[in-house]
Structures are given as C-alpha cells and as structure tokens.
Amino acid sequence: MFSLSLRLALKGGREALVRLILTAAAVALGVGILLLVVGDFHAYQAISDRPYWEGTQGAPVSLITSPSNSELWNFSEDYFNGQTIERLDVAALGPGAPIIPGLANMPGPGQYYASPALAALLNTVPADELGDRFVGLEIGLIGNQALPGPDALVIVIGHTPQELADWPNTTQVSSINASPQPSSSANVYRFFFALGAIALLIPILILIETATRLGAARREERYAAMRLIGATPRQVGVIASTDTIVGALLGAILGIGIFFLLRPAVSGINITGDLFFAKDITPTAWGFLATLIVVPIASAAVSILSLRRVQESPLDVKRKVTPPAPKAWGFLPLLLGMLLFVLSVIFNSSYGPALAGIGLIVVIIGLITTGPWLTMQAARLLGKFTRGAVSLLVSRRLADDPQTAFRSVSGLVLAVLVGTAVAVIASTVLAGSSTPQDSALNNVLRVGFTGTSTTSVGLPSSTGAQLISSLRGYPGVKVLPLYADTAFTVQSSTGQSQTQPSGPPPDIINYQDLMEFPVLGTSAPGVNFVVVDSTGLLFNVNPVYLSRNLPLVTKDSPAYVGNTSSLPIAYMLIQVDNSVTMEKVRTLLSRYTTQFGTNLSPQTFGEVGQARISLIDQVEKAVFIGIALIIIVAGCSLAVAVSGSLIERKRPFTLLRLSGTPTSVLYRVVLLESVLPLIAVVFFSGAIGSGLAAAFIKGLAPAGTDLVFPGQAYYLTVGAGFIIAVVVILLSMPLLGRITKPENAKFE
C-alpha cells in the first residue's frame, strides 16, 4: 500500500506534481520563517544567559592589605552618537587578578582592549571626537564571550593601582560576577517572542493546511470512489498521508535551506537593542530534527482530517452534499480567551505571562471558529440587500461553504488582531514616556561633577572657569553653569538678606548665562543671580517631569546675593548644534570627569528620553516585522487558496461561460467572495485586539493612563496587507480566464 501511495504521489500525473510542488513550497516558506523566529529567540536567550561581568560588585579600596588575587575596578558608561560605550578601568594588584570573559589577560598600565565595533570606530573617527577619551595602546580585541552583540561598544583600560585608587567609585574585587544580568524587560521579551511565535505559527499551519488541501474536491471524489469499491479508511488514509508527507518533508528540507540563506540578513536586524551573533541564531540541532519529524506528521494529520467526509460517508461526497453551517457557539472560545487574558492582568503574578499566552491562543482559536459564522452572516446580508448576478453567486457560495472562504483570509485577520493589540500597548507606553515637549532641550548635555580634595562639591572655580572657556571655544556651543554655595544668601521679598542655615546647596544661575536657554525661563528685572532648586528635575531619569515643570526660573525666583566667581560648579547644561561638535565636547569633558569623577555621564535630554522608550521602540519594531511576516505567509496562503478554488470550480465556471456569462462577471465574483470575508471579520478582529490592549493597560499601567491608538505607520502596514491581498487575487484572474475557455471545455 505504501509503494502504491508513493507511486501515486510522485507519478500521479501533472496535477499530482503541481500539488506536490505547491505543498513543498508552502511548507518551505512556513518552516523557514518559523525557524528564523525560533532562532532569534535562542539568540536572545544566549545573550540573556551570558555572564554579566559588568555587574561585578567590590569592596572599598585598601592598597595596604590588598590580596594578590584582586584588582581595582571602575566601571562606567560613555556615549557616542547615541550609542552606549561600556568602559572598564582596571588595575591588577597581583598575578592572580581575575579576568573577564573574552580576554586572555587583563590589560596593563597604558594598554587597552576594545570590542571589534569600537576598534573600528577608533580607526575611522577623528581622535578629538572619540579616541582621546581613552589613553593607551590597543593590544587586542575583546572576545564575543564578553559582548552582548557584535555591535557592542566596550573597552577595558589598564592603569596603575595608585592612579586608579584616587578615582571616585573605584572598588576592589577578587572575583567577577558570572550570573546573568537581572532584567525587568526579560519577561517582556519572552512574552512577546512567545506571542510572536504563536501569532506566526497559526498562519503557517493555515498555509500548510491550505496547500495540502489543494485540489481537495477532486481528491475527495477520487478517494470516495476508492472507498465505494472497497478500500478501507486506513488504506485511504495511508494514500492521502503519503502524498502529503512527501511534499511536507521536501518542504521542511527546503525550509531549513531558506533559514540558512536568510540568517545573515536577520542577524543585521536590531530587535532587542543589540544585534545577535549569527552563530547564536539557530533553533539548535534538536529544533532542526523536530522540524523534519513534526512538520510532515502534522501535515499528514491535517490531510487526513480534511478527508473526514470521505471516511465517514463517501456517498455524501459523490452527491455534493453541502457541509453543515457554522454555529454561533464559536464565540465561546473567544470569550473564554478574553477572560483568561483579563485574569492574567488582574492577577499580575509570575504566572501572568503564561496565562496571557494561553488566553491569546484561545482568543485566536475563537476568532478562527467565529470567522466562518461572521462570513456566513455577511453573505446572507449581501444576498438580502443587493441584486445582480455577482451578488447572487457570491452570497450562495459563501453561505454554503463559509469555512473555506474564511480560511483563505484568516492569516490577515490574525495579523490585525495581534498587531492592533501590541501596537495600542506600545503607543500608549510611548505616549507616557515621551521626550521633553520643547525640542530645544533635546541637544542639551547635562553634566554633573563630584567634589575634589579642595572642594566638597563640584569643580573648583578655577578649573570650572577653564572648562567653560574651552567649551565656548567651540562654534555653536552654549554653556549654563550651575554653581553651588553651602552657605548661601538670598534676598527676601522685604529686601532683607537671609542666610540659609542648613540643607543641601541650591543651584545658582547667572542671568546672563540663563538668557542663552530661554526655555528654562527668566528672572525678575535687575536680578543678576537667581537661586533654583532644579537638580531633581534636570537630572531626573524621565525628562517628562522637566517638561511638566517648565519654566524653572520665574520672576518669583529668589535672587542670590554674593559672587559666583569663587563658587564650585556642581552641574552644567551644554547646548551643541551638531553631532560632530557634540562628540568633541564629550571628549573634552572626559578629561574632567576622569580626573574629578562624575555622578552622571554626559547625556543629552533627547538621549535620556530615547533610552526610556528604546524598549518600546524595539517591541514596536518587532511588531511591524512580525506583521510583515504574517502578511507574507497570509498572502501565500491566499494565493494557494484562490488558485485551488479556481481549479476545483473549473467545471461550474466553464458552464457559466458557455451559458453566456461574461468573463468580467466571473472576475468580480472571485474578487468579492475573497474580499467579503476579510471585510466582515477584519474590523471585528481589530476591535478584539483593542479590547485586549485596553485590559492590559487598565491592569498594569498607572491610574489615569489614557489609551493611545497607533500612528499612521501601523495603519499603512495593515493597509498594505489589504492591498497585497487584492493584488494576489487579481494575479489569479488570468488563470480563471485560461481554464474556463469554451474551446477547452471537456468533462469526465
């Protein structure tokens, strides 16, 4: 029986060969895309599980009693063109000093190791923009074990113990942290990877199922004839499954080839903030083996299920009995899935993501079971309220078999469901984490300085004056120093001088400097120096708070009575008008922050705001990539379904042409019966997605958070998917005209 089945699959004529090729192509596309998603998740897991050496904690420095197996450690972050540079300044205290992963040994004084990406920058970018920040000789590259990705900017610089011991924030370590980095976003990424895999897996299964059902009507007739002449259900099942297994196995092998072909391109897509190493983008050997085993078996199961009418009642197939109409009970799994999703948000615990994932799966199943019923109702309304041959043919066809009609567009409907839910969540979070409303602050650096041996806070006045002079030497640079006075005097409303007895020193601003930054406000006439308590706003991790409290200086701000020429500079705001000068300024500041230490690495307000929303940006990017992949898969599924439907209805369409029906009418019939199910369900799907997003935001977002719908990019993506669907249908029209030519009419 197996040899007969194999012979029918491989030598069953042109129709069998076409079905085999289309099945293999559909499976190959689906498997290739699915392996890329699984491979990306494996790469993310590899990055998440790498030893987080940057999180090493140490003890206070004690060079007198320091053991030989320890080293001085000073980890900080720098920035270049919006990219973070991880910088480790280190000094070994003996031959047994610990070594970070990716290095054979730690650098000695005057030496450094750089990551490949940073080394490339150092060789191409002018030294006054980047290289002058790092004193020493490059002696090698940092290995991949120490890096989160191939684009990571990391440098390890060696010093003498005496030099590094004087730096603020230097600690003494005897072992390097080997645990993974704790991350609040890890569960978010795992959650979205799981949702993406689910959202992509179901359209892929639909594509495979559609391909295996290609020519199902004619195959049903053939297998029904076999059953009627004595073939057992098992024998028919073997023949049908062998046909599908051959195509699915060939497609799985080709899909693995597609995966390796596309992997280099995928490694260049930034999804989580860091690029993935190409070698880590793999579903592992077990994943490949599972693909070669599971995909053919699943395809065979789908093929056997699609022939259940043949197994149960072959006479119904021969008589062309209309399948039973879908029932409204399909809404039950949809409601159950939404309930599970809402409960996962209400009971926000460690089981929340898993419960939400299960809820989403049930929602998708509910949408698939509800779609045919909605399609049937739309078809009945079309037949009731419209007239003409086109609407009559379409309404009868869709009302008789809405399951097949909806199956062809279900992938696009799922893309709208998942895409709308995630896009609304991302848009809402982005709206609550936006950068300052006034763009004038986006290119303003904020710099903080610690004290030295001569002052308890900030840069000494002479050093600060030298720095200000150097900064103002760059064209287009504006500087606003914020002075500190531990015992300051303010002018009261009655004109009496009052001395602040205690508390942290305020920020004192020269009115002439303030005029360069009008967005911060203006003081009363005649006031040369003004006191503001702005540190908490200027250096808050969320610049939105600064936007909500502008201006900082008003006519009611107290005046400062004193001379700032001898005061230390605690903070600076530096406005720069171009990126090249920005990096030169940062390089200049590195000399001072290296000598005196810094509480806050020099960042612009725009960079601070972007860092807060980068996670959501990455998720949103992943959503658009996922939607694009689903649209590709759904478009292929639609193409296969429409082509298969035309081939199966060759006889009735040809009869219609022989009876005088214009070809244009048949074209409109095919177009409308494909588009109507999409229109009937897509808006319903978008509403369900918005409801899931609303539940998610209501349960997890702060009180008062408003629901924000996505921007035009999302709607353009969905619109592009709809246009692709229409184009796919239109491309099948020449096939309809060719197979229904009257001169080719021939029936068994």
DSSP reduced 3-state for 526 = coil
8-12, 66-70, 215-219, 322-326: range with highest mean pLDDT: 66-70
What totals of helices (H) and strands (E) does the chain contain, helices first? 25, 15
Mean pLDDT of 601-624: 69
**Per-residue pLDDT tens for 334-367?**
888 888 877 776 665 556 666 777 777 788 888 8
Can you give the length of the chain in residues?
A: 748
Supply the DSSP string of 205-237, one letter for each residue: HHHHHHHHTTTHHHHHHHHHHHHHTT--HHHHH
**Averaged pLDDT for residues 508-536:** 81
Is the Cβ–Cβ distance between 653 and 747 less than 8 Å? no
Q: What pLDDT shows up at residue 71? A: 92
Distances (CA, A) of 165 to 112, 452, 592: 18, 14, 17
Domain boundaries, the chain: 1-50+189-321, 53-173, 324-432+615-748, 450-598
Q: Assess whether pLDDT exceeds 70 at residue 390.
A: yes
- Predicted confidence at residue 115, as pLDDT, reads 95
Reported confidence tier of residue 73, pLDDT bands at 50, 70, 90: very high
* Per-residue buried b or exposed e for 555-591, using 16+ beta carbons within 10 Å of the residue's own CB: eebbbbebebeebbbbbbbbbbeeeebbbbbbbbbbe
Is pLDDT at 119 greater than 90 in this prediction? yes
What does the alpha-carbon distance between residue 370 and residue 350 come to, in Å, rounded to a whole number?
A: 31
Lowest mean pLDDT among 157-171, 211-225, 643-657: 211-225
Order of strands, sheet of 83-92, starting from the edge strand that comes earlier in the sequence:
137-141, 111-114, 153-158, 83-92, 71-80, 171-173
Tell me, what's the pLDDT at 122? Answer: 94
Between CA 394 and CA 398, with CA 397 as vertex, the angle to 5 degrees is 85
Lowest mean pLDDT, pick from 47-61, 389-403, 545-559, 680-694: 545-559
Average pLDDT over residues 72-93: 89
Q: What percent of the chain has pLDDT over 90?
A: 12
β-pairing, 111-114 vs 137-141, is parallel
pLDDT score of 718 more than 80 = no
Mean pLDDT of 107-116: 94
| Contact between residue 108 and residue 99 where contact means Cβ atoms under 8 Å apart | no
Q: What is the predicted pLDDT for the residue at 501? A: 43
Q: Is the pLDDT of residue 401 over 70?
A: yes
**Beta-carbon contacts of residue 472 (< 8 Å; ≥ 6 apart):** 479
CB 422, CB 619: distance < 8 Å: yes
Q: What percent of the chain has pLDDT over 70?
A: 72
The confidence score (pLDDT) of residue 273 equals 65
Are 254 and 261 in contact, with CB atoms under 8 Å apart?
no
DSSP annotation of 459: B
Query: pLDDT digits over 125-142, tens only?
Result: 999 999 998 988 999 999
Considering the entire predicted model, what is its pTM? 0.70
Mean pLDDT of the chain: 77
**CA-to-CA distance for 259 and 234, rounded, in angstroms?**
36
Pick the residue with more confidence: 447 or 419? Answer: 447
CB-CB contact of 33 with 261 (8 Å): no
Residues 341, 698: contact at Cβ < 8 Å?
Answer: no
**Spatial CA neighbour of 94 closest among 106, 79, 104:** 106
Worst-scoring range by mean pLDDT, 89-93, 284-288, 304-308, 389-393? 304-308
- Residue pair 267/276 in contact by the 8 Å Cβ criterion: yes
Is pLDDT at 536 greater than 80 in this prediction? no
In 3D space, the residue among 480, 478, 446, 459 whose CA is nearest the CA of residue 600 turns out to be 446
What is the model's pLDDT at position 190?
A: 63
H/E run at residue 748: none
